[in-house]
Amino acid sequence: MASEGRPSDSDKGSLAAISELFDEPARPRGRNRGLISSSAIGLANRGRVLQVLFDLGPTSRAELARHVGVNRATISGIVQPLIDQGILVENDPLPSKESGGKPARPMWFAEDAAPICAVLLMHDSVQCCLVSLDGTITAEARAAFPPDAASVETLAETIYASISQTLKLAHRPPLGIGVAAGGMIDTDNGSIVAVNLAPLLAGFPLGAELTRRFGLTTRVDHHPRALLVGDRWFGIGRGKRNFAVIYTGEVLGGALFLDGHLYRGPAGAGGELGHTFVQVDGGVCRCGRRGCWETIATLGWLRREAEIAGLPSAEVLDSRCLVALVEESAAGAVDLLDRYARNVAIGIANLQQTMAPNFIVLHGDVVGGGPRLLDAIAVHVRELVPWRPGGDIELVMGDLEDRAALKGAAGLVLSELLHFTL
Ligand SMILES: [Zn+2]
pLDDT in tens, 99-157: 556 678 999 988 888 899 999 999 999 999 999 988 899 999 999 999 899 999 999 99
**Ligand 1 centroid to residue 327 C-alpha, Å:** 33
**Ligand 1 centroid to residue 278 C-alpha, Å:** 10
Q: Identify the domain boundary among 49, 83, 109.
A: 109
**Ligand 1 centroid to residue 252 C-alpha, Å:** 9
Residue 35 is assigned to a structural domain of this protein: yes
104 and 126 fall within a common domain: no
Angle at 363 between CA 410 and CA 252, to 5 degrees: 100
Residue 38 pLDDT: 64
209 and 273 fall within a common domain: no
123 and 207 fall within a common domain: yes
Number of domains present in the structure of the chain: 3
**Ligand 1 centroid to residue 51 C-alpha, Å:** 35
161 and 66 fall within a common domain: no
Return the DSSP state at 244: E
Residue 197 pLDDT: 83
Residue 5 is assigned to a structural domain of this protein: no
249 and 368 fall within a common domain: yes
**Ligand 1 centroid to residue 299 C-alpha, Å:** 14
248 and 199 fall within a common domain: no
Helix residue ranges per DSSP H, 122-180:
152-168
243 and 341 fall within a common domain: yes
CB 117 within 8 A of CB 176: yes
**Ligand 1 centroid to residue 264 C-alpha, Å:** 19
Residue 328 is assigned to a structural domain of this protein: yes
CATH code at position 40? 1.10.10.10
Residue 75 pLDDT: 92
255 and 379 fall within a common domain: yes
pLDDT in tens, 308-320: 999 999 999 999 9
389 and 409 fall within a common domain: no
**Residues of the chain scoring pLDDT < 70:** 1-38, 40-41, 95-102, 419-422
**Ligand 1 centroid to residue 339 C-alpha, Å:** 20
409 and 372 fall within a common domain: no
CB 14 within 8 A of CB 173: yes
Residue 4 is assigned to a structural domain of this protein: no
**Ligand 1 centroid to residue 109 C-alpha, Å:** 41
Residue 234 pLDDT: 85
Residue 180: which residues within 8 A CB-CB, separation 6 or more?
118, 119, 120, 121, 221, 222, 223, 225, 226, 227, 405, 406, 408, 409, 412
293 and 375 fall within a common domain: yes
CATH code at position 128? 3.30.420.40
Q: How far apart are CA 336 and CA 307, in angstroms?
A: 11
Residue 46: C-alpha distances to residues 24, 34, 142 (Å): 12, 19, 35
282: domain range?
239-397
Q: How far apart are CA 7 and CA 18, in angstroms?
A: 12
Q: Identify the domain boundary among 109, 125, 140.
A: 109
The helix (run of H) or strand (run of E) holding residue 185 is strand 184-186
33 and 166 fall within a common domain: no
